Structure 1
Amino acid sequence: MAKLTAAVVQAAAPLFDTRGALSRAESLIREARAEVVVLPEAFLGGYPKGLDFDITVGRRTDAGRELFRRYLEAAIEIPGPEVDALAAVTRDLRCHAVVGAVERRGATLYCVALFFGPTGYLGLHRKLMPTAAERYLWGQGDGSTLPVIDTGAARLGAAICWENYMPLFRTTMYAKGVDLWCAPTVDDRDQWQASMRHVALEGRCFVLSANQFLRREGVPAELHRHDMGPVLINGGSVIVSPLGEVLAGPLRDCEGILTAELDLDDLPRARFDFDAVGHYARPDVFSLRVDETARNAVTGLGA
């Protein structure tokens, strides 16, 4: 009987402190002691919950531009030293990890999920659709970063936060054979729990959702607003079985690490009566075309 130990980490890193964020990520992956470890959305680079960068429609300010400069500076480059450091950790532990980060690529930022394994860095997924005000911070990914990683024991993929609400994204991942659906997020609403159970049941996959737990103290004091409560992101990390049963969590009101032993034989058992892209599909009625080419703004500049 094939089994795998999985962990989801509920924590936050200090905003605008890349070195501190990296140190926390390294420590938490080691502390998790699992074969697959998932860290929350934007753990490296930070999720600036409650900050508006002083933007209104048709208006920007010097203060907002300076704040964005700080945010850009805290993001990581890929490849880069932070990626190398995390790759060293997973090589040492012989584990896989999915880590939420903010990638700096030129003058544009992307919300990404980074994949690591026993051989080091394995690739990334860029968030396809930033939500609401995230769009003035992050660019849109394209179809070229939709990996599903074969760990040898199971196939690992990721959808970041509200990408989990994109039916065609989910269908694409199911078609790629995802077994362990990783959902780094900052959505702490009760409704998120229903979504995670739905994805597990629809995809007949294990769902590993890691959320941040962010206190106001995690935001620099000079950026505190009068309407900020003591807790800005209140967790809700959870692990769900392929039949939608909660195996661990949801965790609230604190940092922590949830672990579960996954019986991988539950995957074929769950798929016995439902396969969204197989015997329960109707290709004579519905079809999906996926464009996985890279969409670069400038090409033909040589090596």
Structure 2
Amino acid sequence: MSQFLAAVVQASPIAGDTQASVEKAAKLIAECGRKGVDVAVFPEAFIGGYPKGANFEIAVGMRTAAGREEFRWYFEQAIAVPGPETEILAQAARDAGTFVTMGVIERDGGTLYCTALFFGKDGGLMGKHRKLMPTAAERLCWGFGDGSTLTAVPTPWGNMGAVICWENYMPLLRTAMYDKHVAIYCAPTADDRDTWVPTMQHVALEGRCFVLSACQYLKRGDVSDALKNHITDAPGDVLMRGGSVIVDPYGKIVAGPDFSGETILVAELDTADLARSKFDFDVVGHYARPDVFRLTVEDRPMLAVQSASASSQ
């Protein structure tokens, strides 16, 4: 099975309504299925919301009651994994016969994580990746992932993994993912700058993999007023302009970037290009120099509390 149809879904969630956002995601997955898409990638934080423009009223050494209430509201938008929302997404993937990578805000205990979920075309929740390094002010509301979710899941066209937004600027993280022989490198993002597309081209060329990057097309009206916005209050103003893109293992753009609005970008990809491209460059194979450079990855879960009985097993 050499060729497959890939899609990046550029859309926004429903403002302040996680259930409605899940239902919208399910409809978009169904649309991908009708197009014959084999692999579909959604943006970062599509379920639960990317709080662009919020600051939760934090300054060094200061929190406010209003900021705490904003976080409580945002906390309630997040989902448990697994949970009722993932069941709906899994059913949508099954009905469409499509592998899906979905950006969500995951709630675990008292902490939120920016997470990418992987669903199989049979509807199974195949795994997840938690963002290792929230960027800048994202650290005000999201926790840190660990090496246990540097996940790659199998598909008929090779392994699929996800690296979220500015994690893609972490060379060692990229190398760890390349070592998992990722053929379908998903890059859910909130970065809509002109510099993002060449970054994706570099990743594809470096990893000799297909890169599928999905970004939201988000207007101020798509963000709930429950979070004070420090960018704009005009509903029609664009907070995130998209720029979703699909790149082949030679760094060539095969779909996008699109900045026009909500859309689904589709491209037919050929896995034979993976071997062809690695003829002259395999960053963790024949082009590596382990006698000079080696990477050690701590891939055990980093638990704050572990019982003695569990650790002795």
Bin of the TM-score, shorter chain as denominator length: over 0.9
Per-residue CA shift, 1:16-61, capped at 9, x if unaligned?
3110110111011111231000000000110010011111111111
Q: Which amino acid aligns with 1:268?
A: A
RMSD: 1.4
Cα distance in 2 for residues equivalent to 1:226 and 1:4 = 42
Residue 134 of structure 2 is aligned to residue 155 of structure 1: no
Give the structure 2 partner of residue 47 of structure 1: 50
Distance 1:265 1:108 in 2: 42
Corresponding residue of 2:198: 194
Aligned residue in 1 for 2:219: 215
The Cα shift of 1:95 comes to 1.4
Identify the residue that residue 2 of structure 1 maps to in structure 2.
2
- What's 1:23 paired with? 23
Give 1:220 shift.
2.4
Aligned to 1:278: 285
Would you say 1:251 and 2:243 are equivalent positions?
no
* TM superposition shift of 1:226: 6.7
SS at match of 1:249: strand
The C-alpha deviation readout for 1:202-221, integer Å capped at 9, x for no partner, is 00000000001100101224
Q: Output one character per residue of 1:182-223: Cα deviation in whole Å (capped at 9) or x when no partner.
A: 000000000001100000000000000000110010122464
Check conservation: 1:7, 1:38, Cα contact below 8 A: yes
Over 2 Å off, 4+ runs: 220-227
Give the match's secondary structure for 1:288: coil
Question: What CA distance in whole angstroms lies between the structure 1 residues aligned with 2:69 and 2:226?
Answer: 13
Match of 1:14, SS? coil
Matched, 1:62 2:60: no
Q: CA deviation at 1:152?
A: 2.2
Q: Helix, strand or coil for the counterpart of 2:172?
A: helix
Separation of aligned partners in 1, 2:290 and 2:309: 41
Q: Deviation at 1:94?
A: 1.9
Deviation of 1:302 after TM superposition, in Å, equals 6.8
CA pair 285-66 structure 1, distance change in 2 beyond 3 A: same
Q: Name the structure 1 match of 2:249.
A: 242
Deviations 1:115-173 (Å, cap 9, x if unpaired)? 00023111100000000000011000011111111112221010000011110011011
Worse-superposed segment, 95-104 or 51-60? 51-60
Does the 8 Å contact 1:90/1:117 carry over to 2? Answer: yes
- Please list the CA deviations of residues 220-241 of structure 1 after superposition, one character each: whole Å capped at 9, or x if unmatched: 2464647416000010000001
Partner of 1:265: 272
The one-character-per-residue Cα deviations of 1:80-139 (angstroms, maximum 9, x if unpaired) are: 001111111112222100000000000000000000002311110000000000001100
Alignment match of 1:233 (pick from 230, 240, 249): 240
- Unaligned 5+ residue runs, structure 2? none
Pairing of 1:67-86 with structure 2 (within 5 A): 67-86=70-89
Q: Secondary structure in 1 aligned to 2:242?
A: strand
In structure 2, the partner of 1:172 is 176
Aligned length, in residue pairs:
303
> After the TM superposition, which of the residue ranges 185-194 and 292-301 deviates more from structure 2?
292-301
- Matching of residues 131-146 of structure 1 within 5 Å: 131-146=135-150
Mean Cα displacement is larger for which, 110-119 or 195-204?
A: 110-119
Contact 1:110–1:127 (8 Å) recurs in 2: yes
**Preserved CA contact (<8 Å) 1:3 1:263:** yes
CA contact (8 A) 2:70 2:226 kept: no
Map residues 81-96 of structure 1 onto 2, 5 A cutoff: 81-96=84-99
Percent of pairs with identical residues = 57
Say whether residues 1:294 and 2:301 are aligned partners.
yes
| 1:103 partnered with 2:106 | yes
**Structure 2 CA distance for aligned equivalents of residues 15 and 57 of structure 1:** 29
